[in-house]
Amino acid sequence: MGIRAQEFSAGAIAILPVLVATMPIALLFGALAVAKGLSPLEVWLMSATVYAGALQFVAIDQWADPAPLGLLVFTALVVNVRHVLMGASIGRSMAGFSGPARYAAMFVLTDEGWAFAERRVRSGNLTPAYYFGIGVSMWLSWTLFSLLGAIIGRGLGYPSTYGFNFAFSAVFICILVGFWSDWRTGAVLLASGGVSALVYLAVPGAWYILAGAFAGVGVAAILHAETGNQNPDGVMPS
Amino acid sequence: MMMDPYNMTLILLVALATFAMRAVGAVVMARVKLAPVSAAAFEAMPVAVLTAVVAPAALTQGLPEAIAGATAVFVGLRAPMAVVIVVAMATVVAMRHVMG
């Protein structure tokens, strides 16, 4: 097997637990979307081109006949603001990506795929093949199973009954544990988690991610300014 | 299977808005050279963003989720991810059952 094929399968294998956890969510999305009046083909088109789990559920929730165009586009921008931060962060580790590959990589950017890519950055080198091993398998799985859900329809049961919605939290926590380096990581965690949870409770919408992220990044910048000499490589050396 | 032209346009517009958000950060950052303090801030970005995503789900949804989150941290120190996922899901379901 060539090095590219090896990297590609390494990415696809790493993301496998997430694929398993996503399957029932994708099935549910397809079933809900059909119940709201979309045809299976439209469900597939949305999963294939929008390709954003959280946003798709919000969009389907607001779907009507005719669907509110301005509201949905605005919602897409707001719900996905977090991807500006994720893209900006992972974009710094994409020196080996060609221009078109960079755009393709951003097209398949998801919270989970991004977290796995950042983990790869820390443990060595993020190659395009590894990244697309994650991205392509997630895209295939999401589109396939949401189409399947649309065809099978209702009667699938709700995944929260089985704890599937918490699977993603478990994945993120697991990756966060691997990101720990020293007390400064703890300070960023506390600031980001505390502010995010408070804003989530106080402000409707998806602003809590931005608020928490900026709080954490702000603390990192302050700590760097105060302790920078002891740690010239940054707050969390990789 | 049919595709309504209005629905199709709408879906593609939402897709475009989503892609714009994903692409803008990466494309801009590829062209920017950072001062040390901003570089430190960017180093912390993965932890900060990931924590902000997961904190409400683990901390504000009730005791079962909080306990499962703490369990995931503990198990995550030693076990591979697949094990962490299964244990966390089982904990949520069990705790919801116990606490009604």
Number of domains in chain A: 2
Rg (alpha carbons) of chain A, rounded to whole number: 19
Residues B23 and B39 in one domain: no
Residues A230 and A122 in one domain: no
Note down the domain range covering A151: 3-179
Residues B5 and B22 in one domain: yes
**What's the CA gap between A208 and B57, in Å, rounded?**
11
Nearest to A17 among B3, B29, B81 (CB): B81
Who has greater pLDDT, B6 or B40? Answer: B6
Model confidence at A158, in pLDDT bands (50, 70, 90)? low
In a mutagenesis test of the A interface, which of B3, B8, B54 is the best target, namely the one with the most A β-carbons within 10 Å?
B54
Distance from CA of B91 to the nearest CA of A (A): 9
Residues B98 and B85 in one domain: yes
Residues B72 and B85 in one domain: yes
Nearest to A39 among B1, B39, B88 (CB): B1
Q: Which of A140, A156, A179 corresponds to the end of one domain? A: A179
Highest mean pLDDT among A36-40, A117-121, B45-49: A117-121
B1·A17 Cβ contact <8 A: no
What integer is the mean pLDDT of A234-238?
43
State residue B41's pLDDT score: 85
Residues A129 and A117 in one domain: yes
Residues A163 and A186 in one domain: no
DSSP B10-48: HHHHHHHHHHHHHHHHHHHHTT-PPPHHHHHHHHTHHHH
State residue A233's pLDDT score: 44
- Cβ atoms of A90 and A118 closer than 8 Å: yes
Query: Looking at chain A from residue 158 to 197, which residues have their Cβ under 8 Å from any Cβ of chain B?
Result: 161-164, 166-179, 185, 188-189, 191-197
Residues A128 and A117 in one domain: yes
Nearest to A163 among B23, B77, B89 (CB): B89
Who has greater pLDDT, A197 or A157? Answer: A197
Number of domains in chain B: 2
Torsion sign (Cα): B78, B83, B84, B88: negative
Residues B5 and B25 in one domain: yes
Question: Among all chains, which residue has been given the structure tokens 């950055």?
Answer: A121
Nearest CA in chain B to A184: B44
What integer is the mean pLDDT of A198-209?
87
ipTM of the assembly? 0.86
Question: What 8-state DSSP symbol labels residue A64?
Answer: -
B17 shares contact with chain A (CB less than 8 Å): yes
Note down the domain range covering B38: 34-100
B27·A91 Cβ contact <8 A: yes
State residue B7's pLDDT score: 92
